[in-house]
C-alpha cells in the first residue's frame, strides 16, 4: 500500500471535530480556503463547510475513488511529518494558509517552507508556549494541530490589526471597553481584557490568548453589566428615562442595554431571561413570573411584541427584538395601533439549473414582478447519475468563498457559492490553490453531468454568480425542462480554458418583410444559414419558438415548425418550404382563447310579503 501523507485529516477529525473544524458524511463537503496572493480572511461557511484540510494523495482526477484513511482503516499509516526549512508540499501550503489567516504569515502561500514561514512558525510558537509549544521555527505535530484548531492569534499590548478592532468592538458591546476602536492593543484594551477574564473565570493576564477570545466571542461570554454590583445604587429620577416626542413611548434607561445572547423557548434558569421578563412586564406585555425560564407565557409575550411592532413573530429574542424592547423608545405599546409588517424586498434574481440540458439560467423580474427576463445563461456540469444534484427549490443563505476544498477528493475550486449544506456553485476543479492548477478535464466536461452533486461553471460564470447573486435568491434544480440543443450550442465554450475568446459572428439583419427565397428547396433539420435565423425570429414573434435564435435548425426549431404547421392545417413534417415561408409573412400571433363565461344560475323570485 502506498503511504499517503494525510496532513492533519485523521488527527484533526479525532481532536477537533467537536469544534466544527471538519465534517463527514455529506454528499460533497466543501471547505473554503484563502485565495492565492491575498491576505484577507477567508470567507466563512457554516455547517459541514468549516475548515480547510489539505490532503497530499497521488494526483488524479476528482472522479477517482478518493478512498480516505478513515474508510480504509489504515490509521497506522497516518503520518504528520515534521515541517522544516526546505520542505515543500500541500501540508506546507496548508500551514501557510492557517498562519496567514491568523496574521502570522505575510508572504505568498506557495507550499515552500522558506524563511517567512519559519519566522511565522516561531511567532506562533512563542505566543502559544502556554499550550506546550516550544519555539524552534520547525512545525512539529503539536504545532500543526494547534495551528489547524486555533481560530485566533494571541493579542497583547502593542498588537495591531483588524482582529484588534474586532476585539475592541466586542469588548465595547459587553461593556468592558469605552475607548476608540483603533485597532491598537494598548492600555485600555489590556484593562478591558483583564476585567473580562476576571468576570469569566479565566486567568487574568491582560493578554487575549485564543482561549480568552473563544469565550469572548461565544454566547456564554459574561458581560460587565451581567455581574452584580456589590453596592448597587438605586435611582428614582424620572428624568433618567427617555420618551418619544409625542410622549407615547416606553420608559427607557438612558444607558443602552447591550444584546449579548439570543434567547429562545426552552431556556431555564437564565439571568438574561429574568432581565427580559422584568422588562416586558414593565412594558405591559407579560404578566407571568420572573423565573428565568423561557416558557409558553414568555414566548407568547415576545410574539405579541414582534407582531405589534411589524416584525416576524418568531418568538425568539434575537438582537433586533432585544434592541426594540430595551433600547427603542418608539416601541409600540399594548393597545396602540400595530405597525404594518415590513414587506421584504424581493431578490434581484432567480436561478434555474436545467439538468437535462446542463444549463444555468439567471432571470430577473418583469413588469409584473415575475422572474421571466433572462440575464445570463451558462453551461454547467451537474451531478452524475448516482451523485445527482438535489432536485427542488433552494434558498441561498449568502455564504461564499473565493476558494474551497473537497477533503474527500483532495481537490479545490474557485468562487464557491453555497446552495445547500451539500452542494454549491463553483468553478472547474483545481489540483491546488493556484490559478494555474485547473484540471482541464473538468473544464472540458462542462455541458455534461460530471460532478458529485455541485454545479460546476466556467471560472467567469462562477465569479459572476459569486459577485452578483445574494442571500434570498431561489435556485431551482429541475430535470423537467425540454431538450434545447439550440441554446446549448449557442453557449458552447472554447475548447481550452486558456484559449483566446473568439466572438460569435454577428447575426444577420432581420425583417419580417424580407423573407428567404427557398423556391423549390426545403429547409430541413441540421441546416445552418441566415434563412434558418429568419424562420426562428419569425416563429418567436408568432409565439412558437422560445429559445435562442442561432441560425442552426435543430430540435427546438423543428418542433416550433411542427406546431405552426398544425395550427395552420399543414402536414406536420417539421421542414420548411416556400409555401410555409409565405404563410409566416402574413400570419399573426394567435389570439388566446378566452375563458368561457360562467352561465348565471336562475334568479330567485322573492316570496310575496305577507
Tens-place pLDDT, residues 430-471: 998 888 899 999 999 999 999 999 999 999 999 999 999 998
User: Cβ distance 192 to 206 under 8 Å?
Assistant: no
Same fold, 249-327 and 350-490: no
Instruction: Say which CATH superfamily domain 9-149 falls into.
Output: PGBD-like superfamily/PGBD (1.10.101.10)
Residue 598: predicted pLDDT: 57
Strands lying side by side in the sheet with 371-379: 371-379, 359-365, 350-354, 474-478, 392-395
Vertex 130, ends 129 and 133: CA angle to 5°? Answer: 35
59-90: per-residue pLDDT in tens?
A: 333 333 333 333 333 333 447 899 999 999 99
CA nearest neighbour of 331 among 302, 298, 301, 309: 309
Q: CA 57 to CA 274: how far, in whole Å?
A: 55
Residues in a beta bridge with 417: 400, 425
Q: Could you read off the pLDDT of 219-228 as tens digits, one per residue?
A: 778 888 666 5
pLDDT of 491 > 60? The answer is yes
Mean per-residue pLDDT for 157-181? 87
The pLDDT score that the predictor gives to residue 601 is: 52
With beta carbons less than 8 A apart as the criterion, state whether 270 and 285 touch: no
Exposure b/e, 146-171, CB count within 10 A at least 16 = b: bbbbbebbbbeeebeeebbebbbebb
Taking the model in full, what pTM does it have? 0.44
- Is pLDDT above 70 for 249? no
Query: Pairing state of beta strands 455-456 and 424-426?
Result: parallel
**Domain extent listing, the chain:** 9-149, 249-327, 350-490, 530-586
Residue range 497-514: mean pLDDT, rounded: 74
CATH topology of domain 249-327: Muramoyl-pentapeptide Carboxypeptidase; domain 1 (1.10.101)
Three cell numbers, residue 121 = 512558525
State the pLDDT at residue 73.
37
**Which residue has better confidence, 234 or 130?**
130
CA angle 470, 475, 478 (to 5 degrees): 165
In this predicted model, what pLDDT tens digit does every residue of 361-408 receive, in sequence order? 999 988 888 998 888 999 999 999 999 999 999 999 888 888 888 888
Nearest to 89 by CA among 5, 147, 30: 5
Q: What is the CATH number of domain 350-490?
A: 2.40.440.10
pLDDT digit string (tens) for 578-601?
A: 999 999 999 988 776 666 655 555
Weakest-pLDDT range from 8-17, 50-59, 221-230, 289-298: 50-59
Q: What percentage of the chain carries pLDDT values higher than 90? A: 44
pLDDT band at 5 (very low <50, low <70, confident <90, very high): very low
Q: What is the predicted pLDDT for the residue at 35?
A: 38
Distance (Å, rounded) from C-alpha 99 to C-alpha 105?
A: 5
What does the pLDDT read at residue 260? Answer: 83
What does the alpha-carbon distance between residue 3 and residue 80 come to, in Å, rounded to a whole number?
12
- Domain 530-586 falls in which CATH fold? Muramoyl-pentapeptide Carboxypeptidase; domain 1 (1.10.101)
Question: What is the per-residue pLDDT for 495?
Answer: 84
Q: Which of 264, 234, 240 is nearest to 252 (CA)?
A: 240
Amino acid at each position: 500500500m502506498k503511504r499517503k501523507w494525510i496532513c492533519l485529516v485523521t488527527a484533526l477529525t479525532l481532536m477537533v471535530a467537536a469544534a466544527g473544524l471538519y465534517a463527514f458524511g455529506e454528499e460533497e463537503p466543501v471547505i473554503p480556503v484563502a485565495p492565492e496572493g491575498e491576505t484577507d480572511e477567508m470567507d466563512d461557511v457554516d455547517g459541514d463547510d468549516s475548515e480547510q484540510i489539505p490532503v497530499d494523495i497521488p494526483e488524479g482526477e476528482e472522479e477517482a475513488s478518493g478512498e480516505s484513511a478513515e474508510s480504509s482503516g489504515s490509521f497506522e499509516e497516518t503520518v504528520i511529518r515534521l515541517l522544516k526549512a526546505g520542505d515543500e508540499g500541500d501540508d506546507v501550503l496548508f500551514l501557510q494558509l492557517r498562519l496567514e489567516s491568523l496574521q502570522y504569515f505575510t508572504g505568498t502561500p506557495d507550499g515552500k517552507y522558506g524563511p517567512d514561514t519559519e519566522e511565522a512558525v516561531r511567532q506562533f510558537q512563542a505566543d502559544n508556549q502556554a499550550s506546550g509549544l516550544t519555539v524552534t521555527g520547525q512545525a512539529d505535530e503539536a504545532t500543526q494541530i494547534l495551528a489547524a484548531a486555533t481560530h485566533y492569534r494571541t493579542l497583547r499590548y502593542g498588537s495591531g490589526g483588524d482582529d484588534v478592532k474586532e476585539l475592541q468592538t466586542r469588548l465595547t458591546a459587553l461593556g468592558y471597553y469605552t475607548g476608540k476602536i483603533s485597532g491598537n492593543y494598548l492600555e485600555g484594551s489590556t484593562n478591558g481584557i483583564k476585567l473580562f477574564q476576571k468576570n469569566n473565570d479565566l486567568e487574568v493576564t491582560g493578554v487575549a490568548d485564543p482561549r480568552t477570545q473563544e469565550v469572548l466571542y461565544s454566547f456564554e461570554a459574561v458581560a460587565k453589566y451581567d455581574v452584580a454590583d456589590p453596592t448597587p445604587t438605586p435611582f428614582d429620577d424620572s428624568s433618567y428615562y427617555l420618551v418619544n416626542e409625542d410622549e407615547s413611548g416606553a420608559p427607557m434607561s438612558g444607558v443602552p442595554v447591550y444584546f449579548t445572547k439570543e434567547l429562545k423557548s426552552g431556556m431555564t434558569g437564565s439571568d438574561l431571561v429574568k432581565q427580559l421578563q422584568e422588562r416586558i412586564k414593565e412594558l405591559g406585555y407579560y404578566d407571568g413570573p420572573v423565573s428565568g425560564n423561557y416558557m409558553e407565557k414568555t414566548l407568547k409575550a415576545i410574539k405579541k411584541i414582534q407582531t405589534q411592532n411589524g416584525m416576524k413573530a418568531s418568538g425568539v429574542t434575537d438582537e433586533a427584538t432585544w434592541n426594540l424592547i430595551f433600547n427603542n423608545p418608539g416601541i409600540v405599546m399594548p393597545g396602540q395601533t400595530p405597525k404594518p409588517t415590513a414587506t421584504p424586498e424581493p431578490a434581484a434574481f432567480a436561478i434555474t439549473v436545467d439538468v437535462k440540458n446542463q444549463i444555468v439560467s439567471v432571470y430577473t423580474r418583469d413588469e409584473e414582478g415575475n422572474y421571466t427576463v433572462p440575464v445570463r445563461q451558462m453551461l454547467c456540469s451537474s451531478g452524475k447519475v448516482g451523485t445527482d444534484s438535489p432536485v427542488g427549490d433552494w434558498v441561498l443563505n449568502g455564504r461564499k468563498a473565493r476558494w474551497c476544498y473537497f477533503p474527500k477528493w483532495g481537490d479545490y475550486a474557485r468562487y464557491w457559492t453555497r446552495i445547500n449544506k451539500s452542494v454549491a456553485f463553483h468553478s472547474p476543479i483545481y489540483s491546488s490553490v493556484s490559478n494555474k492548477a485547473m484540471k482541464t478535464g473538468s473544464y472540458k466536461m462542462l455541458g455534461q453531468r460530471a460532478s458529485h452533486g455541485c454545479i460546476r461553471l466556467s471560472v467567469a460564470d462562477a465569479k459572476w454568480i459569486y459577485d452578483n447573486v445574494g442571500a434570498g435568491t431561489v435556485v431551482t434544480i429541475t430535470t423537467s425542462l425540454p431538450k434545447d440543443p439550440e441554446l446549448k450550442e449557442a453557449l458552447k465554450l472554447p475548447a481550452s480554458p486558456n484559449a483566446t475568446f473568439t466572438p460569435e459572428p454577428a447575426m444577420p439583419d432581420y425583417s419580417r418583410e424580407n423573407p428567404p427565397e427557398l423556391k423549390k428547396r426545403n429547409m430541413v433539420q441540421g441546416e445552418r444559414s441566415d434563412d434558418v435565423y429568419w424562420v426562428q425570429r419569425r416563429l418567436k414573434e408568432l409565439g412558437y419558438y422560445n429559445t435562442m435564435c442561432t441560425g442552426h435548425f435543430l430540435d427546438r426549431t423543428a418542433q416550433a415548425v411542427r406546431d405552426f404547421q398544425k395550427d395552420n392545417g399543414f402536414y406536420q413534417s417539421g421542414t420548411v418550404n416556400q409555401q410555409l415561408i409565405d404563410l409566416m409573412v402574413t400570419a399573426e400571433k394567435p389570439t388566446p382563447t378566452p375563458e368561457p363565461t360562467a352561465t348565471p344560475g336562475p334568479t330567485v323570485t322573492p316570496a310575496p310579503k305577507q
